[in-house]
Amino acid sequence: MRRTLLAMLVLAVALAAAAAFAPGWLAFLLAVVMAKSLVVAGLVVMWRAGLISFGQALFYGVGAYGAGMLGMRWGVTDFFLITLVGAATAGVIAWVLGFLVARYRGIFFANLNLAFSMLLFGYMVKSSTFGGTDGLRAPIPTFLGYEPGDATRVGVLLVATTAVVLPLLALLHRFLDSTAGRMTTAIRDNEIRVLYLGGSVRRTIHLLVVVAAVLAGAGGAMVALAIGHIDPDVAYWTTSGEFLFVAVLAGPAHVLAAVLGTSVFEVIRTYANEYAPQFWQLILGTSLVLSMLFLPDGLWSLAGRLRRVRKEAGHV
C-alpha cells in the first residue's frame, strides 16, 4: 500500500509538472490517458473475477453523454460536478442492470453487456435529443468556479483529471485488498467453494459491476470534457473492445497497470495516426496478439520480471 501511494504521488507530481510545462498536445494526451485508464481499471477489476464485458462502452457512453446533456440542457460546466454526475448515473444504471447481469458468467456476461451497450448505441443514433449520429458538443469546463483562459485550459484540465483519477485508483487499490476485493480472485478460481464458505458470489459480482461502471462513467465524462465532442461511437462495441484490449495489455496485477497500459495504447495510437494511419488496426491487432502470446499477465508483469532478473544478478 505504501509503495503504491508513493508511486501515485510521484505520478501526480510528474503530471502536475507536465500540466505546467508540457506543450498543449501532450497535456491533452495525458488527460485523456488518465481519464481512460479509469475505465480500464474498472475492466481489470472485473477481469480479476474472471468476467469480461463487451459492453463497458455503455457506462462510458452514459458518462460522456451525461456531460453533453448537463452542459447543453442545464448549462452546467463544472468539471467535478459533471464527472460526479456521470459516475453516479452510470453507477445507478449498473446497479439496476446488475440484478440481471450478475447471474451471468463467461461469454454470456460479455454478450449481455454487449446487448445493453448496443441498445444505448441504437438509441443515441436515433435520438434527436442526443444529436443522432452527429452527437453533441460537450461544454467548455470550468473548475469550481475558476474559468481558465484558452492558453491554460488544457493544463488545468490535466490537473483536475489527475485529481479525480489518482484518488479513485488509490481507493480501488484499497478495495482490492479488502475481503470483498480479494474475493474477486476466489470467484474466478472457484465459485462453488466461495458459496460453501458462505460468501455471496452474486452480490460480489454485482458490486464489481457497479464499481466498474462508476469508474467508466467518470472516465467517459472526463474524456468528453477533454475532447469537447460526443458521438454515438462512444457506445459502440468497438469502443468496448478497445478498452478490453487495453485491460488485457495492462494486466490485472495492479491498479496502476491500467495507467501504464492506457499510456502505451494512446502513444501507439497517436504515432500510428501520425505516420501510418492505414496500418493503425494492423499495428493494434499485432500488438494485441504479441502481448497475449508473450505477456499473458500483461505489461505490468514486465516490471516483476525485471525485478527478478535484477535480484538474480545481485546474487551472482
Partner 1 sequence: MSDREPILETRGLRKQFGAVVAAAELDVTFHRGETVGIIGANGAGKTTFVNLVTGYQKPDGGTIRFLGRDITGQGPRHVTKAGLCRSFQIPQVFGSMSVADNLLMAVGIAEIGWLTAGSPLEQPRRRALVEELLATYRMEPYAGHRADLLPQGVRKLLDIAMATARKPALLMLDEPTSGISAVEKYGLMDIIMAALRAQQVTIHFIEHDMEIVGRYAERVLAFAAGDVIADGPPARVLHDPRVQELVIGRHEAARGVLNHAAPPAESGS
Partner 2 sequence: MSMLVAILVDGLVNASWLFLVAVGLTLVCGVMRILNIAHGGLYAFGAYATATLISWWPAARLTSPVSFALMLVAAVGVGAVVGLALERGLLRFVYGRDEVVLVLITFAAFLILEDVLTLIWGATVIAAYQPYSLLGRTSVGRLTFSNYDLSLIVVAVLVTVGLWWALTRTRRGLLLRAVIHDREMAQIVGINVGRYTTITFVVGCIFGALGGALTAPMISIQPGIGVEVIVVAFAVVVIGGMGSIPGALLGSIGVGLARAAAVHLLPDLEVFVIYLVMTAVLAVRKEGLFAPAAVRRI
214 binds partner 1 (CB under 8 A): no
308 binds partner 1 (CB under 8 A): no
Please, which of residues 221-250 interact with partner 2 by CB under 8 A?
237-238, 241, 244-245, 248
Q: Which of 95, 93, 107, 90 has the alpha carbon at shortest distance from 53?
A: 107
The listed partner (partner 2, partner 1, none) that binds 244, CB under 5 to 8 Å by sort, is partner 2
Quick one: which segment of 37-45, 137-145, 170-178, 254-262 binds partner 1 (CB under 8 A)?
A: 170-178
Minimal distance in Å, beta carbon 238 to partner 2?
6
Give the three-class secondary structure for 170: helix
In the DSSP assignment, the letter for residue 78 is B
23 binds partner 2 (CB under 8 A): no
Residue 111 or residue 185: which is nearer to partner 1 going by CB? 185
The correct pick among 197, 276, 282, 306 for binding partner 1 (CB under 8 A) is 197
192 binds partner 2 (CB under 8 A): yes
Helix axes 237-250, 255-275, angle to 10 degrees: 120
Question: How far apart (Å, rounded) are the C-alpha atoms in residues 252 and 271?
Answer: 26
The correct pick among 183, 208, 248, 259 for binding partner 1 (CB under 8 A) is 183
171 binds partner 2 (CB under 8 A): no
For residue 281, count other CB atoms closer than 10 A to its CB: 11
Report CA dihedral (133, 243, 4, 165) to the nearest 10 degrees: 10
133 with 125: CB under 8 angstroms? yes
The phi and psi torsions of 137 (rounded to 5 degrees) equal: -95, 135
Helix axes 2-21, 24-48, angle to 10 degrees: 150
Q: What is the DSSP string of 266-280?
A: HHHHHHHHHH-GGGH
Residue 76 or residue 118: which is nearer to partner 2 going by CB? 118
196 binds partner 1 (CB under 8 A): yes
114 binds partner 2 (CB under 8 A): yes
- β pairing state of 229-230 and 136-137: antiparallel
In the DSSP assignment, the letter for residue 198 is T
306 binds partner 2 (CB under 8 A): no
189 binds partner 1 (CB under 8 A): yes
The listed partner (partner 1, partner 2, none) that binds 144, CB under 5 to 8 Å by sort, is none
The correct pick among 35, 58, 112, 211 for binding partner 2 (CB under 8 A) is 112
Q: Which of 88, 49, 91 has the alpha carbon at shortest distance from 180?
A: 49
Give the three-class secondary structure for 236: coil
Minimal distance in Å, beta carbon 51 to partner 1?
15
198 binds partner 1 (CB under 8 A): yes
304 with 253: CB under 8 angstroms? yes
122 binds partner 2 (CB under 8 A): yes
Task: Name the grid cell of 18.
Answer: 507536465
The listed partner (partner 2, partner 1, none) that binds 286, CB under 5 to 8 Å by sort, is partner 2
261 with 47: CB under 8 angstroms? no
The phi and psi torsions of 230 (rounded to 5 degrees) equal: -130, 130
**Residues engaged in binding partner 1 (CB under 8 A):** 174-175, 177-183, 185-186, 188-190, 192-200
**Residues engaged in binding partner 2 (CB under 8 A):** 47, 50, 52, 100, 103-104, 106-108, 110-112, 114-116, 118-119, 122-123, 125-126, 192, 237-238, 241, 244-245, 248, 278-282, 284-286, 288-289, 292-293, 296
